[in-house]
Structure 1
Amino acid sequence: MNVESGIQSDYTVYDHDDRQARRRRWMIIAGAVVAIVVIGLLAMKIFGGEKAAPTAAAAPGVTIIVPGRTEIVATISATGTLFAKREMPVGVAGEGGMVQAVLVEPGSWVRAGQTLAVIERSVQAQQANSLSAQVRVARADADLAQAELDRAKALVARGFISKADIDRKTAARDAAVARVSVAQAQFGEARAQIGRLDIRSPAAGLVLTRAIEPGQVVGPGTGALFRVAKGGELEIRAQLAEQDIARLKVGDPAQVTPIGGKRAFTGTIWQISPVIDPQTRQGLARIQLRYDPELRPGGFASALINSGMATAPQLPESAVLNDDKGSYVYIVGPDNKVIRRDVKVGDVSDAGIVIQSGIQGNEKIVLAAGAFLNPGDKVTPQMASAGAANR
């Protein structure tokens, strides 16, 4: 009994010590966990809170300009086709025939009345010779009738010829003279017809096209055999919107550049269309140009027309954006929020883009990086330097 009681007592002591050890270990672990959690919360409060506060309050900086209004030369851009200012089609004026010779080529300068081509005329020449002979016959008959009348008048005083005979001979003389006039008129008509066989230029100018060759048979229905630019003057017929047409007047200067060329030619508006096409809402401005070998009728060209002086805002290209709705700029409002403003652009040059409508010039315009902004965004505006605003 005593031995068992001693053994049981030893087991009880050992079990108590083990429980105490386990309890201490759990307390240590729990304290470590609590310490880690506290440290983590403190770290989040210190570092996370300080970092989040600036992020929530920060606004991106943007460069702005106030363009004002600038006095500029107002220009209108247009495109069109080059033509002869006065193009003269030249065809057969007479009865025509076989072409005997062609005397000019496209690009030749001709005088008024100069022969461009000759039609074969052997038959007409023989007819003219026949009519010339008839003139001579008629003149001989008239001379004979006059001589007989003169002899008859000399015999009237002697009573050998009656007054009635004198009247008949006078009538015969007059008929003979009339036949001379008829023969002369017929001969003149033949000569005129022969002259019309020569194809002549109606005015001085530049030969543009030639549609005739020796041996070709031509007639009144053949059509134009040559086309001549009167005086060599050319023009561009520029198609313009009706609002642009309203800004122009006859005499306005223009610079015309053929497509593919680098040289600009000076011209002036000489005619403005009095009507607007109801389908395209466009009108025609005709700009006359002096002849130059680099200007070829039928070619395409662009024109920059000076329509006077105007006062308008002018912006760098970086400030003007475009989308499917058109051109627009971003304005920074009084609360530093971005506002979209649709604009109508005008001429584009090295100095910038002219704004015809949409802004007055006293607004704060975002100079660049507008593509990264959205309407309503809050920004920190910074005024651009003079050099940056001019780029």
Structure 2
Amino acid sequence: MGMNVESGIQSDYAAYDYDDVQARRRRRIVIGIAVAVLIGVIAATMMFFGGKKPAPAAPAAPGVTVIVPGSASVDATVSATGSLFAKREMPVGVAGEGGMVQSVLVEPGSWVGAGQTLAVIERSVQTEQANSLAASVRVARADAQLAQAELDRAKALVARGFISKADIDRRTATRDAAAARVAVAQAQYGQQRATIGRLIIRSPAAGLVLTRAVEPGQVVGPGNGALFRVAKGGEMELRAQLAEQDIARIRVGNGAEVTPIGSKRAFNGTVWQISPVIVPQTRQGVARVQLAYDPALRPGGFASVVIKSGTTQAPMLPESAVLNDEKSAYVYVVGPDNKVVRRDVKVGDVSDAGVVILSGIQGNEKIVLSAGAFLNPGDKVTPQLSAAPTR
């Protein structure tokens, strides 16, 4: 009996083990099938999509700041360079026979008045000659007085019959000859005094002494040329070399600003003469700008000039928008397709307010404000509009 119970229990355990093994086996098969299906799906997906790569996203166009400058009334100017000269340079030399220089009374840079003595030539011989001629004048006058007195006495006696009319005529002729000798002596004396006066070298007009080419003890004469050079009124001028097309834009009376090289100070002047001739070799002419006296203006110096030639309607751009290369000045314009296009321009006056553009743009374009040096024609950009610069 006991053996049967044990055998029943063993048989129950055996049945239980068999069912559990079968269940685990079925789960493994199901899991294996699911894994195989998943692997198959993945493999099929990879086979189907493996040859196609997704297209990379297009890079965003760089953003640039642009302005629409418009146009406004600006001062039209012509810029040039040239040399400074005295407007009216007066060479002063020996006008008479000359001689040894006794004294020199001025130095270069001195301001002199009209008729002021610049130098004196030794004149002792001429002075003695003048004294002799002065004595001759006195002698001639005495003779003339004596002749007049004799004539007067003769006229008193002619009525009494003591003197004939012929004697009166002779005495009258003697009186007239004496008077003529007085005139001759006075003329000779005046000539000698003028000769002495020419031995004093004087300034013909008020002005600035520019050069001095004489020293005391030097023997000078008419062949020595200019001993002094004087700028009349101290006025200077700039002789500006201008291209033919620029000459046509200016007029006599236009204002100008002259800046000597090495100086930051500008001097106001006026165009007073425009050359009627264009030099064929250079296609240039000369505009002469007059300047008031100032110690800082030195003849022979080099200077730049900006001549105001009226007003014009033109766009104005900040300096950052204008680029330059070996060809010309240019700007970048953003077109309707947001691509940059190079536009060559002609630059006018440059000031703190900006750069005047004389030609190349109308003013209604979108101009790259900055970063133009990092762009190339055809680059696509994202324009960001900025306000036009104030004037």
TM-score category of the 2 structures, normalised to the smaller one: 0.7 to 0.9
Q: Judging changes above 3 Å, is the alpha-carbon distance between structure 1 residues 164 and 321 closer, same or farther for their aligned structure 2 residues? A: same
Q: Residue 66 of structure 2 contacts residue 386 of structure 2 at CA under 8 Å; is this kept in 1?
A: no
Give the corresponding residue for 1:17.
none
> Counterparts of 1:367-378 in structure 2 under 5 Å?
367-375=369-377, 377-378=378-379
Letter in 2 for 1:54: A
Corresponding residue SS for 1:124 = helix
Give the corresponding residue for 2:387.
386
Give the corresponding residue for 1:31.
none
Structure 1 residue 66: deviation in Å? 2.0
Q: Residue 331 of structure 1 contacts residue 366 of structure 1 at CA under 8 Å; is this kept in 2?
A: yes
Letter in 2 for 1:315: L
Q: Deviations over 1:298-345 (max 9, x none)?
A: 211222233333221122333323333322223233333433322211
Distance 1:67 1:288 in 2: 36
Give the corresponding residue for 1:277.
279
Distance 2:379 2:155 in 1: 126
Establish whether residue 54 from structure 1 lines up as the match of residue 58 from structure 2. Answer: yes
Q: Deviations over 1:151-199 (max 9, x none)?
A: 3333333433332222222212211111111111111110111111110
Letter in 2 for 1:314: M
Structure 1 residue 41: deviation in Å? 10
Give the corresponding residue for 1:45.
52
Higher mean displacement: 136-145 or 274-283: 274-283
Distance 1:41 1:257 in 2: 80
RMSD of aligned residue pairs (Cα, Å): 2.7
Give the corresponding residue for 1:254.
256
Distance 1:215 1:41 in 2: 117
Q: Percent identity over the alignment? A: 76
Letter in 2 for 1:335: D
> Counterparts of 1:305-384 in structure 2 under 5 Å?
305-375=307-377, 377-384=378-385
Structure 1 residue 210: deviation in Å? 1.1
Higher mean displacement: 125-134 or 68-77: 68-77
Q: Judging changes above 3 Å, is the alpha-carbon distance between structure 1 residues 44 and 229 closer, same or farther for their aligned structure 2 residues? A: farther
Distance 1:73 1:44 in 2: 68
Distance 1:202 1:344 in 2: 49
Q: Residue 271 of structure 1 contacts residue 287 of structure 1 at CA under 8 Å; is this kept in 2?
A: yes
Structure 1 residue 96: deviation in Å? 1.0
Structure 1 residue 207: deviation in Å? 1.3
Distance 1:140 1:164 in 2: 24
Structure 1 residue 40: deviation in Å? 11
Q: Residue 332 of structure 1 contacts residue 381 of structure 1 at CA under 8 Å; is this kept in 2?
A: no
Corresponding residue SS for 1:249 = coil
Distance 1:378 1:202 in 2: 71
Distance 2:103 2:156 in 1: 60
Structure 1 residue 367: deviation in Å? 3.0
Give the corresponding residue for 1:26.
none
Q: Deviations over 1:250-305 (max 9, x none)?
A: 33332222111122222222333333333322232222222222221221122223
Distance 2:67 2:47 in 1: 48
Q: Judging changes above 3 Å, is the alpha-carbon distance between structure 1 residues 222 and 40 closer, same or farther for their aligned structure 2 residues? A: farther
Letter in 2 for 1:145: A
Give the corresponding residue for 2:98.
96
Structure 1 residue 235: deviation in Å? 2.0
Give the corresponding residue for 2:128.
126
Q: Deviations over 1:3-22 (max 9, x none)?
A: xxxxxxxxxxxxxxxxxxxx
> Counterparts of 1:128-277 in structure 2 under 5 Å?
128-277=130-279
- The partner residue of 1:112 within 114, 131, 134 is 114
- The partner residue of 1:76 within 75, 78, 91 is 78
Q: Residue 63 of structure 2 contacts residue 384 of structure 2 at CA under 8 Å; is this kept in 1?
A: no
TM-score normalised by structure 2 residue count: 0.80
Distance 2:249 2:379 in 1: 41
Stretches of structure 1 lacking an aligned partner (at least 5 in a row): 1-34
Corresponding residue SS for 1:50 = coil
Letter in 2 for 1:366: V
Q: Residue 61 of structure 2 contacts residue 382 of structure 2 at CA under 8 Å; is this kept in 1?
A: no
- Number of corresponding residues: 348
Letter in 1 for 2:194: A
Q: Please say which structure displays the higher CA radius of gyration.
A: 2
Distance 1:154 1:306 in 2: 86
